C-alpha cells in the first residue's frame, strides 16, 4: 500500500497529525480512538458482566461496517443485508440439522460464507442496473421472500422455532468476547482499507454522481457488484459467527426485515461512509438496547425508546452522530476542515 | 375442474383490495417523489382505528372515523417530519421506516402481537360463480371503484386536484403558476392517508389485524407502483388487478403458500424488461 | 470505415424525442489532430449530438465510429476508455470530495481491485500542476472560482488520457484574458497530438482557434469549411439572423 501524502501543502482538508490509511488523524481524534480501542479490548477486565453484550456487539459491528462499504458509500440503500447474513446462518444451521449434526466448523463456515456471497449476488445482479429506490425495493422484498421461504420449507428449517443443533462457540463469556473481537477488528480494518483506497473513493463517487463516474471511464455496474462482494463476505462471516454465538438460528434474530433496519439505523447514526462510525455505533446501539433501555423500560417498551432516539438522530444529524463527533475533534486541532 | 368464473371473481376481489393498498403510496411517490415507507403503517392504523372506534360507535361510523383518522395522521406526519427531510431521499427512506417501527412497537405494547379479526359491517355472503363471496368483499370492491371515481373527478375537475397534477409534473413550474405548494402537499398526504385507512379497514376485516401487518402491504404497494409505473394512477390500478388475477391463478393451480412470491417474480421480470413500469413517465424537475 | 486520418466519424445520426426530431441525418468526420469548431444557435441540437456520441443518449438511427470501431449506443465508460473524453458545459465535480480526489476518480483504472497506485498519484499531481490547481488540491470544488472549476473539468478529462477531447462551450462565463489563455492551452493540447472538437454557439471565440467549422441548425448540417468560408456563407448568416456569426 503506497503511503501517499494527501496534499502537497502542509494544511490539508484532513488535518495535521499521524497518517492513517491516507488520511491524517489529529491528536484529539487519535487519542480518543486509542482510548476507546483499549477500553474495548479490555472489556472483560473492567466490566465482566458486559462481556456477553460486547461480544454480540462485535458481530453487529461487523454487520454495520459491511453494510457501510456498499450502501453507506454508494447510497444504494440495501434493506436486504439480513438476507445475506441470514443465508450464511441458515446454511450452517441447515447443514447441522439436515445433514450431519457433527459437521466440522471448518466445512460449514466457509460454505456459509460462499452461500452468503451467492445470495448477495442473486439480488444484486438484477437490481444494480437500476436506480436507488428500485434497488432498495428489491432488497426489501427479498427479505420478505426469504422469511416466507423459511416458513414454507419448515420441515427443513424448523420454521419459527429455529434450529438449535448449531454448536456454540463457547460458554465462557470472556473467550466468547475475544473470539468475536478478533474477526471484528480484522474485518473493520480490511473494510477501512478498502474504503480509503481508490476503490472506496470510486464507490463514494458513485454515491454522489454516478453519471460522472461513468464519464470517468469506470464501469459503475462492475464496481457496485464488487462492492457487494466486499460487503457480502464479512456479512457471511458475521452471520455464521452469530449462528455459533447463539447456538440457535431462527427468523426473528437473523432474518426478519427488522434486523436489516437495525443495521441501517446503526450505520446511519454512526455516519454512512466512514466504516468506523457504523462499527462504533453498533456498540452504542447494543448497549442502549440491551442494557440501558431494557433496564428502564423492559424488553418490550424499550423498542419505542430506541427507535425514537434513532429517528431524532437521523433528522437532526443526518451525517451521523459519531461522524459529527469525529469532525468536532478534528476541528479542535485548530486547522481547516 | 376449476371454474374460470371463480378465478375471475376472486381475482377481482383481490385486485380491488390491492388497488386500495397501492393508491396512497402511488400518490405520494408519483406526486411528490417521496417514498413513504410508513405507508404500510398507515394501512395498519386504519385497521386499528376501526377496531377502537368499532367498540364505541356503529360499523359505518367507525369506518368513516378510521379513514379520517389516518388521513389526518398522514398530514401530521408530513407537517411534523417529512416536509423537513423530503429533499434527502435516503433520510426520508430511513425516517419513515423508523416511524413505522415505532408505530408497530406502540401497538404491540397496547394490543399484543396476537392477530385478531375485525367485525365486518355486514356479515355473510352469497354463492356466486362457483365460490362463496362475502358481502363485505363485494362492498369493498364496489366502494373501491366509487373512491377511484371520486379521485378521478377530484383530480380532473377541481382546482386543487389539477394543482396536484401540475405539481407532480414540475414543482418549479407549479410554483411559478402561483400554486401554494404546501397546501397541495397537505391535500395529497390527506388523500393518500385516507385511501390507506380505507384499505386498512378491509384488510383488517378480510384478513387479520396485528402490529406486524404493515410490512406485507408496504412491499405490495411498492411492487404495484413499480410495475404500474411511477406517477401513473392508471398504471397502479392496472398493475393491482393484474397481480390480483395472476396471483389468484397461481394460488389455485400451484398452492396457497406461494401467494406472496408471485408478485415478486412479476416485479423482477418487469424491472428487467421495462424498468419505468408499464405506464411510467419521466419527471421534469 | 475510418482511416487513421479520421478518428471520429458520425454517420446518418438521427435522434427523436417523441415527435420531436432533434438531430436529423447528420454525418461528419473529425480529422486527426485538428481543432474542429462545432457551432450552432441555441437549440440547434449540439448537446444532443454529443450526448449520442458519448453514449448518454441512444441514437434513434445512425452510427458513430471511434478509431474504426463502432461505438454507437455503448456505455459511456467504454467510449471514454477507448480514448474519447468530454468536458461538459456545466461543471460537474463531486462536490463532497477534494479537488485531488476529483481528479483521482478520473485517473484510476477501471478495476475494482486496483486499491492504490503510485502512478495514479503522479498523474494527479502533474495534471494539477499543469492546470494550475496544485495549491487547491486539498480544497472542495465549491471554494474554487468559476474559472478554477472549469480548469478542474479539463483536468478530469485529461486524466482519462484521451486521443480526442470534446470541449462543450468552454469559454462560457470567461473574460477576454481567460479566453486567450484557454485558447493557448487548447493549442497546446493539439501540439501533444490530441484531436479537439470545440462546441460553441457562435464563432467569435473560435475564429482564430479552429482549423475547420461545422455549422448545425435545427438538427441538420448547414455548412462545413474554414472559418472564413463559413463566416461568409449566407445561409449561416441568416440562421443567426443578425448576420453576425
Give the model confidence (pLDDT) of B159-191 as tens digits: 777 777 766 666 555 566 666 778 888 888 999
pLDDT for A68-101, tens place per residue?
999 999 999 998 899 999 999 999 988 888 888 7
Q: pLDDT per residue over A220-276, tens digit each? A: 999 999 999 999 999 999 999 999 998 888 888 888 888 899 999 999 999 999 999
Is residue B135 in a domain? yes
Residues of B in contact with A307 (CB under 8 A): 98, 101-102, 105
Domain span at residue C48? 1-83+162-245
Is residue B63 a contact partner of residue B118, using CB atoms and an 8 Å limit? no
- pLDDT per residue over A197-208, tens digit each? 999 999 999 999
Q: Is residue C21 pLDDT above 90, yes or no?
A: no
How far, rounded to the nearest angstrom, does the alpha carbon of residue B81 sit from its chain's CA centroid? 21
In a domain, A282, yes or no: no
Instruction: Answer yes or no: is pLDDT of C233 > 50.
Output: yes
Distances (CA, A) of B35 to A251, B24, B29, B51, B94: 27, 11, 5, 28, 10
Query: What digits encode the pLDDT tens for the residues B110-127?
Result: 888 888 877 776 677 777
pLDDT-derived band of residue A21, with 50, 70 and 90 as boundaries? Answer: low
Residue B283 lies in a domain: no
Whole-number Å distance between alpha carbons of A237 and A232? 9
Residues C156 and C172 in one domain: no
Q: Are C168 and C87 in contact (CB under 8 A)?
A: yes
Mean pLDDT in residue range A305-334: 86
pLDDT at res. A2 = 34
C77 and A214 within 8 Å at the Cβ level: the answer is yes
Buried b or exposed e, range B176-210, using 16+ CB within 10 angstroms: eeebeeeebbbbbbbbbbbbbbbbbbbbbbbbebb
Could you tell me if C50 lies within 8 Å of chain A, comparing CB atoms? no
Query: Are A241 and A127 contacting, i.e. CB atoms less than 8 angstroms apart?
Result: no
Give the model's confidence band at B66: pLDDT under 50 very low, under 70 low, under 90 confident, else very high: very high
- State pLDDT tens for residues C90-136: 888 999 899 999 999 999 989 999 888 888 888 899 999 988 888 88
Q: Does C119 touch chain A (CB under 8 A)?
A: no
Residue B226 touches chain A, beta carbons under 8 Å: yes
**Residue A316: C-alpha distances to residues A76, A299, A313, B256 (Å):** 22, 27, 5, 45
Which of A126, A307, A314 comes nearest B272 by C-beta? A126
Please tell me which of the candidates A193, A202, A212 has its beta carbon nearest to residue C108.
Answer: A202
Q: Do B and C share at least 3 CB pairs under 8 Å?
A: no
**In this structure, are strands C8-17 and C195-200 parallel, antiparallel, or unpaired?**
unpaired
For residue A160, being part of any structural domain is answered with yes
- The nearest CA of chain B is from the CA of A311 a distance in Å of 6
Pair C166, C244 in one domain: yes
Please answer yes or no on whether B95 and A307 come within 8 Å at the CB atom: no
C134 and C174 in a single domain? The answer is no
Query: Domain of C192: which CATH number?
Result: 3.40.50.300
Q: How far is B219 from chain A (nearest CA, A)?
A: 6
**Count: domains in chain B:** 1
What is the pLDDT at residue A182?
94
Rounded to a whole number of angstroms, the distance from the CA of C241 to the nearest CA of chain A is 36
* Strand pairing category for C164-168 and C84-87: parallel
When CB atoms are compared, the residue of A140, A142, A308 closest to B102 is A308
Total number of domains in chain A:
1
CA distance B19 to B225: 10
Collect all residues of chain B within an 8 Å Cβ-Cβ radius of residue A301. Answer: 105, 109
d(CA C225, nearest CA chain A) in Å: 30
Domain that includes residue A217, residue range:
47-257
- Mark yes or no for CB contact B215/A137 under 8 Å: no
How far apart are the C-alpha atoms of B173 and B284, rounded to whole Å? 10
What residue numbers bound the domain in which B49 lies? 4-273
Do C182 and C234 lie in one domain? The reply is yes
Band (pLDDT 50/70/90 cuts) for residue B226 is confident
Q: Within a domain: residue C90?
A: no
The answer to whether the beta carbons of residues B19 and B240 sit under 8 Å apart is yes
**From the candidates B99, B105, B108, B265, which should be mutated to test the interface with A, based on the most A CB atoms within 10 A?**
B105
- Cβ distance of C117 and A2 shorter than 8 Å: yes
* C155/C174 same-domain check: no
ipTM over 0.90: no
pLDDT tens digit string along A113-143? 999 999 999 878 877 777 777 788 788 888 8
- What is the reported pLDDT for A282? 95
**Chain C residues within 8 A of A75 when measuring between CB atoms:** none
Mutate one of A252, A311, A313, A321 to test the B interface: name it (highest B CB count within 10 A).
A311
- In a domain? residue B108: yes
Task: State the total domains in chain C.
Answer: 2
By CA distance, what is C106's nearest residue in A?
A216
CB contact at 8 A, C31 and C68: no
The nearest CA of chain B is from the CA of A201 a distance in Å of 19
Q: Are residues C151 and C220 in the same domain?
A: no
Which helix (H) or strand (E) segment holds residue B210: the answer is: none
Has residue C209 got a pLDDT over 50?
A: yes
Biggest CA pair distance of chain B: 61
**Residue C75 contacts A, CB cutoff 8 Å:** yes
pLDDT at A10: 34
CB–CB contact A216 C113 (8 Å):
no
Compute the nearest-CA separation of B122 from chain A (Å). 32
CB contact under 8 A, A13 and C113: no
- Across A159-173, B22-36, C73-87, C198-212, the highest mean pLDDT is recorded for C73-87
Q: Concatenate the DSSP letters of all residues of C172-191 into one string.
A: TT--HHHHHHHHHHHHHHHH
pLDDT at A186: 96
Query: Which of B159, B147, B226 shows the shortest CA–CA distance to B191?
Result: B147
The answer on C211 and C173 residing in a single domain is yes
Same structural domain, C38 and C52: yes
Q: Please report residues of A whose CB lies closer than 8 A to that of B105.
A: 300-301, 303-304, 307
Contact of B139 with B153, CB cutoff 8 Å: no
pLDDT in tens, A35-49: 888 988 888 888 888
Report how many Cβ contacts below 8 Å link chain A to chain B.
92
The nearest CA of chain A is from the CA of C116 a distance in Å of 6
Position B1 confidence tier, pLDDT thresholds 50, 70, 90: low
**CATH number of the domain residue A196 falls in:** 1.10.3470.10
Nearest to C205 by CA among C35, C44, C30: C35
Spell out which residues of chain C touch residue A22, defining contact as CB-CB under 8 Å: 116
Chains touching chain B, criterion 3+ CB pairs below 8 Å: A
Give the max Cα distance, chain C. Answer: 57
Regarding whether C168 and C153 lie in a shared domain, the answer is no
Look at residue A194 and tell me if it is in a domain.
yes
% residues pLDDT > 90 (chain A): 44
In a domain, B243, yes or no: yes
Evaluate whether C35 touches C62 at the Cβ level (below 8 Å): no
Same domain for C72 and C4?
yes
A293, A307, A318: best mutation site toward chain B, by most B Cβ within 10 Å?
A: A307
pLDDT, chain A, mean: 85
Q: Are residues C238 and C180 in the same domain?
A: yes
User: Which chains share 3+ C-beta pairs under 8 angstroms with C?
Assistant: A
DSSP-derived 3-state class of residue C201: coil
Which chain A residues are within 8 Å of C54, Cβ to Cβ?
215
Provide the CATH number for the domain around residue B238: 1.10.3470
C18 and chain A in contact, CB less than 8 A: no
DSSP C108-156: S-S-TT----HHHHHHHHHHHHHTT-TTSTTS-GGGS-HHHHHHHHHHH
Domain end residue (candidates: C161, C194, C213): C161
Choose the weakest-confidence range: A30-44, A132-146, A206-220, A306-320: A132-146
Q: Which residue of B has its CA nearest to A319?
A: B91
Residue B76: inside a domain: yes
Residue B281 counted as domain residue: no
pLDDT tier at A5, thresholds 50, 70, 90: very low
User: What pLDDT digit, counting tens, does each position of C130-165 carry?
Assistant: 888 888 888 999 999 888 888 899 999 999 999 999
CA distance C81 to chain A (A): 5
From C111, C143, C161, give the residue that closes a domain.
C161
Cβ neighbours of residue C116 under 8 Å, at least 6 residues apart? A1, A2, A4, A22, A197, A198
What is the interface size between A and C, counted as CB pairs within 8 Å? Answer: 118
The Cβ of residue B58 has, within 10 Å, a number of other Cβ atoms equal to 10
Amino acid at each position: 500500500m503506497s503511503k501517499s501524502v494527501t496534499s502537497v501543502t502542509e494544511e490539508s482538508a484532513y488535518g495535521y497529525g499521524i497518517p492513517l490509511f491516507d488520511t491524517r488523524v489529529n491528536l484529539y481524534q487519535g487519542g480518543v480512538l486509542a482510548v476507546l480501542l483499549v477500553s474495548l479490548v479490555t472489556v472483560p477486565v473492567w466490566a465482566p458482566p458486559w462481556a456477553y453484550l460486547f461480544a454480540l456487539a462485535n458481530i453487529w459491528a461487523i454487520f454495520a461496517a459491511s453494510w457501510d462499504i456498499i450502501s453507506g458509500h454508494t447510497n444504494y440503500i440495501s434493506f436486504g443485508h439480513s438476507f445475506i447474513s441470514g443465508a450464511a446462518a441458515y446454511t450452517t444451521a441447515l447443514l447441522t440439522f439436515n445433514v450431519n449434526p457433527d459437521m466440522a466448523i471448518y466445512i460449514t463456515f466457509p460454505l456459509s460464507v460462499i452461500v452468503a456471497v451467492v445470495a448477495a449476488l442473486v439480488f444484486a445482479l438484477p437490481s444494480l442496473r437500476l436506480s436507488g429506490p428500485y434497488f432498495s425495493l428489491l432488497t426489501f422484498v427479498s427479505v420478505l421472500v426469504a422469511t416466507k421461504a423459511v416458513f414454507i420449507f419448515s420441515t427443513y428449517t424448523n420454521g419459527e422455532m429455529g434450529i438449535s443443533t448449531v454448536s456454540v462457540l463457547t460458554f465462557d463469556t470472556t473467550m466468547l468476547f475475544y473470539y468475536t473481537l478478533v474477526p471484528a477488528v480484522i474485518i473493520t480494518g480490511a473494510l477501512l482499507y478498502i474504503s480509503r483506497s481508490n476503490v472506496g473513493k470510486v464507490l463514494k463517487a458513485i454515491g454522489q454522481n454516478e453519471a460522472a463516474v461513468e464519464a470517468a471511464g469506470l464501469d459503475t455496474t462492475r464496481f457496485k457488484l464488487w462492492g457487494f462482494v466486499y460487503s457480502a463476505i464479512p456479512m457471511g462471516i458475521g452471520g455464521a459467527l452469530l449462528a455459533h454465538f447463539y447456538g440457535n438460528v431462527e427468523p426473528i434474530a437473523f432474518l426478519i426485515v427488522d434486523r436489516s433496519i437495525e443495521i441501517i439505523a446503526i450505520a446511519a447514526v454512526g455516519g454512512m461512509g466512514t466504516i468506523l462510525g457504523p462499527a462504533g455505533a453498533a456498540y452504542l446501539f447494543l448497549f442502549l438496547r440491551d442494557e440501558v433501555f431494557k433496564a428502564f423500560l423492559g424488553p418490550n417498551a424499550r423498542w419505542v425508546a430506541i427507535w425514537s432516539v434513532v429517528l431524532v438522530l437521523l433528522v437532526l444529524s443526518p451525517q451521523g452522530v459519531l461522524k459529527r463527533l469525529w469532525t468536532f475533534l478534528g476541528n479542535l486541532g485548530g486547522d481547516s476542515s | 375442474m376449476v371454474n374460470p368464473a371463480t378465478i375471475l371473481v376472486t381475482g377481482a376481489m383481490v385486485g380491488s383490495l390491492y388497488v386500495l393498498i397501492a393508491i396512497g403510496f402511488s400518490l405520494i411517490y408519483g406526486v411528490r417523489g417521496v417514498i413513504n415507507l410508513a405507508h404500510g403503517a398507515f394501512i395498519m392504523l386504519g385497521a386499528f382505528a376501526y377496531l377502537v372506534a368499532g367498540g364505541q360507535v356503529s360499523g359505518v361510523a367507525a369506518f368513516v372515523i378510521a379513514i379520517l383518522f389516518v388521513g389526518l395522521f398522514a398530514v401530521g406526519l408530513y407537517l411534523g417530519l417529512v416536509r423537513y427531510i423530503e429533499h434527502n431521499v435516503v433520510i426520508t427512506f430511513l425516517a419513515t421506516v423508523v416511524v413505522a417501527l415505532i408505530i408497530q412497537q406502540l401497538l404491540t405494547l397496547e394490543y399484543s402481537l396476537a392477530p385478531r379479526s375485525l367485525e365486518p359491517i355486514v356479515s355473510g355472503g352469497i354463492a356466486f360463480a362457483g365460490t362463496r363471496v362475502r358481502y363485505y368483499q363485494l362492498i369493498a370492491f364496489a366502494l373501491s371503484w366509487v373512491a377511484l371515481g371520486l379521485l378521478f373527478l377530484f383530480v380532473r375537475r377541481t382546482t386543487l386536484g389539477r394543482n396536484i397534477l401540475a405539481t407532480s409534473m414540475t414543482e418549479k413550474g407549479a410554483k411559478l403558476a402561483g400554486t401554494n405548494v404546501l397546501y397541495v402537499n397537505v391535500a395529497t398526504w390527506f388523500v393518500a392517508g385516507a385511501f390507506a385507512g380505507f384499505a386498512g379497514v378491509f384488510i383488517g376485516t378480510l384478513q387479520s389485524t396485528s402490529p406486524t401487518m404493515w410490512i406485507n402491504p408496504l412491499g405490495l404497494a411498492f411492487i404495484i407502483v413499480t410495475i404500474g409505473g411511477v406517477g401513473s394512477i392508471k398504471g397502479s390500478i392496472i398493475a393491482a388487478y393484474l397481480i390480483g388475477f395472476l396471483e389468484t391463478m397461481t394460488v389455485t393451480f400451484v398452492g396457497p403458500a406461494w401467494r406472496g412470491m408471485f408478485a415478486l417474480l412479476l416485479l423482477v421480470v418487469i424491472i428487467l424488461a421495462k424498468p419505468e413500469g408499464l405506464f411510467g413517465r419521466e419527471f421534469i424537475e | 470505415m475510418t482511416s487513421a486520418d479520421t478518428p471520429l466519424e458520425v454517420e446518418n445520426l438521427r435522434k427523436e424525442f417523441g415527435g420531436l426530431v432533434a438531430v436529423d441525418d447528420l454525418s461528419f468526420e473529425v480529422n486527426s489532430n485538428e481543432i474542429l469548431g462545432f457551432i450552432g444557435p441555441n437549440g440547434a441540437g449540439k448537446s444532443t449530438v454529443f450526448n449520442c456520441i458519448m453514449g448518454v443518449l441512444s441514437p434513434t438511427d445512425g452510427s458513430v465510429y471511434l478509431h474504426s470501431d463502432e461505438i454507437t449506443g455503448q456505455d459511456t465508460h467504454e467510449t471514454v476508455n477507448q480514448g474519447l473524453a468530454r468536458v461538459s458545459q456545466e461543471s460537474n465535480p463531486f462536490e463532497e470530495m477534494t479537488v485531488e480526489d476529483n481528479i483521482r476518480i478520473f485517473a484510476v483504472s477501471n478495476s475494482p481491485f486496483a486499491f492504490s497506485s503510485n502512478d495514479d498519484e503522479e498523474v494527479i499531481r502533474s495534471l494539477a500542476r499543469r492546470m494550475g490547481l496544485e495549491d487547491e488540491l486539498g480544497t472542495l470544488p465549491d471554494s474554487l472560482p468559476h474559472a478554477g472549476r472549469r480548469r478542474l473539468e479539463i483536468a478530469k478529462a485529461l486524466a482519462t488520457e484521451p486521443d480526442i477531447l470534446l470541449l462543450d462551450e468552454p469559454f462560457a462565463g470567461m473574460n477576454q484574458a481567460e479566453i486567450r489563455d484557454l485558447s493557448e492551452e487548447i493549442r497546446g493540447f493539439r501540439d501533444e497530438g490530441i484531436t479537439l472538437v470545440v462546441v460553441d454557439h457562435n464563432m467569435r471565440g473560435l475564429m482564430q482557434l479552429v482549423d475547420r467549422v461545422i455549422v448545425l441548425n435545427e438538427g441538420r448540417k448547414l455548412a462545413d469549411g474554414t472559418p472564413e468560408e463559413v463566416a461568409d456563407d449566407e445561409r449561416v448568416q441568416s440562421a443567426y439572423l443578425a448576420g453576425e456569426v
